[in-house]
């Protein structure tokens, strides 16, 4: 069993607020898994790039979980396309940290996103420990379902992902569909590709009194509340909810007196080029009086927004999983989501919400109306579905994957002592 895991999250820190910049579901994943690994006695060091000179080099995120801010490039937020130039500096800092300890300090490297995978690949070879990699998103999949006006992922990322897939000892896929994409699009070895769904914090995201939740966030008791949570960028398609709301008002003008559309999030990615685009769309559609734009929320406050909503809408062009859908359902709120990627697993169509094929706002409006009619039944189904996913189950499966990768690496070299063991022997001889 592993004693210490080096977790690599180059482009975004687990300490950042999800819903803005590059912080999203991956940040939640790293935080929740790291805490639970530590609770099992497995120490975690999370390496991430420093974005401010005021950030302390080392932060204890939780007992047994250390976040290390690595100086690599300027102290500012860099776009993902600018980060490859900083990989040498980042890798050197990670290797330098391990070298300050006794040989064999880390037992496993777990990289998140392809940039981290490039660093993890080198650390794996240097330390003689297995590399476990979570892609979170895949360039070839994203490029096959681009939103209008969105930039395709560069060829350099595609090549980088292919390299990491070829080198990783284990690949972690959120769903069976993602595992298939890794095999079909990247030539991944099915025997080393694990399907481990993410989880949800069922203590924070749980059903509660809708009226009290509405009071806490300032929503009228009799409102019809539609909710979007996520980064404001074309990939997440928050514009679809605004178009659907406009269609609902056109079909039923009396609804305007009660409709509340809450958009929780901040511009991110390609959405930073036009940060006011969604507000301008609301003006063009004539729905500014029913739309409220809110900043990203902390988990406990976010749970109140889910409880206050009648429906949470997740209209993304693509999602490797869709933690927002799971969080909403855990609060007993049904979901209307795009029938793409991991959302087909995160949402049980017809039981915990409805999946919408295609990109027609009229279809979303119709699906929202159908969910409203069956709100109580679907809400109960939503909670039941969400309880099948927990971070404890995710962590247990990851630990099993770590242990199997460690055992496989040892078995593959029965006559060749691991690099860490050779270093320990060398240190012992020098000390005599």
Find out whether 23 is annotated in a ligand binding site: yes
Beta bridge partners of 291: 261
Find out whether 18 is annotated in a ligand binding site: yes
pTM over 0.75: yes
- What does the pLDDT read at residue 421? 52
Find out whether 309 is annotated in a ligand binding site: yes
- Sheet of 170-173: strands edge to edge? 58-62, 65-70, 43-49, 4-8, 108-112, 131-134, 170-173, 193-195
Find out whether 157 is annotated in a ligand binding site: yes
Q: How far is CA 42 from CA 106, 307, 392, in A?
A: 10, 34, 14
Find out whether 387 is annotated in a ligand binding site: no
Find out whether 236 is annotated in a ligand binding site: yes
261, 288 in Cβ contact below 8 A? no
Find out whether 27 is annotated in a ligand binding site: yes
Find out whether 113 is annotated in a ligand binding site: yes
Find out whether 254 is annotated in a ligand binding site: no
- What does the pLDDT read at residue 20? 72
348, 381 in Cβ contact below 8 A? yes
- 226 — alpha (psi -120 to 50), left (phi > 0) or beta? beta
* Total residues belonging to the chain: 432
293, 263 in Cβ contact below 8 A? yes
CA distance 88 to 95: 11
Find out whether 54 is annotated in a ligand binding site: no
Find out whether 112 is annotated in a ligand binding site: no
Find out whether 382 is annotated in a ligand binding site: no
Q: Tell me the pLDDT tens digit for each residue of 401-420.
A: 999 999 999 998 754 455 55
Domains and CATH numbers, the chain: 4-199+391-412 (3.40.50.2000), 210-388 (3.40.50.2000)
Can you list the residues of the chain whose pLDDT is less than 70? 77-78, 270-271, 414-432
Find out whether 370 is annotated in a ligand binding site: no
- What does the pLDDT read at residue 303? 98
Find out whether 333 is annotated in a ligand binding site: yes
Cβ burial 41-53 (10 Å sphere, 16+ → b, else e)? ebbbbbbbbbbee
- What does the pLDDT read at residue 24? 85
Find out whether 306 is annotated in a ligand binding site: yes
Find out whether 86 is annotated in a ligand binding site: no
Beta bridge partners of 207: none
- What does the pLDDT read at residue 414? 59
């Amino acid at each position: 069993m592993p004693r210490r895991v080096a977790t690599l999250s180059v482009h975004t820190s687990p300490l950042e607020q999800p819903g803005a910049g590059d912080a999203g579901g991956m940040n939640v994943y790293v935080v929740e898994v790291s805490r639970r690994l530590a609770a099992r006695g497995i120490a975690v060091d999370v390496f991430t790039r420093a974005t401010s000179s005021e950030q302390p080099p080392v932060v204890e995120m939780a007992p047994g979980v250390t976040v290390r801010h690595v100086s690599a490039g300027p102290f500012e937020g860099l776009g993902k396309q600018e980060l490859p130039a900083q990989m040498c500096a980042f890798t050197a800092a990670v290797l330098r940290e391990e070298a300050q300890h006794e040989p064999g300090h880390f037992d496993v490297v777990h990289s998140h996103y392809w940039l981290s995978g490039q660093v993890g690949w080198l650390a794996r070879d240097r330390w003689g420990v297995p590399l476990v990699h979570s892609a979170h998103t895949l360039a070839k999949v994203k490029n096959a379902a681009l939103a209008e006006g969105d930039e395709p992922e560069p060829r350099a990322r595609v090549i980088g992902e292919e390299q990491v897939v070829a080198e990783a000892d284990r690949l972690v896929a959120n769903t069976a569909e993602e595992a298939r994409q890794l095999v079909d699009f990247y030539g991944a070895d099915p025997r080393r590709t694990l399907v481990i769904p993410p989880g949800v914090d069922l203590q924070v995201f749980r059903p509660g009194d809708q009226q009290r939740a509405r009071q806490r966030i300032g929503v009228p008791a009799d409102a019809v509340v539609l909710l979007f949570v996520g980064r404001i960028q074309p990939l997440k398609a928050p514009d679809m909810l605004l178009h659907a709301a406009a269609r609902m008002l056109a079909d039923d003008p009396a609804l305007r007196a009660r409709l509340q559309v809450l958009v929780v999030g901040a511009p991110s990615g390609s959405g930073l080029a036009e940060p006011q685009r969604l507000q301008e769309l609301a003006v063009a559609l004539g729905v500014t009086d029913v739309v409220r734009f809110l900043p990203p929320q902390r988990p406990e406050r976010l749970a109140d927004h889910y409880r206050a909503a009648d429906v949470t809408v997740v209209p993304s062009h693509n999602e490797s999983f869709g933690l927002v859908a799971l969080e909403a359902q855990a609060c007993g709120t049904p979901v209307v989501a795009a029938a793409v990627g991991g959302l087909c697993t995160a949402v049980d169509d017809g039981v915990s919400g409805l999946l919408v094929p295609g990109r027609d706002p009229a279809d979303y409006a119709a699906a929202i109306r159908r969910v409203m009619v069956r709100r109580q039944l679907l809400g109960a189904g939503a909670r039941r579905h969400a309880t099948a996913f927990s971070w404890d189950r995710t962590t247990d499966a990851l630990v099993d994957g770590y242990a199997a990768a460690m055992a496989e690496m040892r078995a593959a070299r029965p006559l060749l002592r691991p690099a860490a063991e050779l270093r320990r022997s060398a240190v012992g001889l020098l000390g005599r």
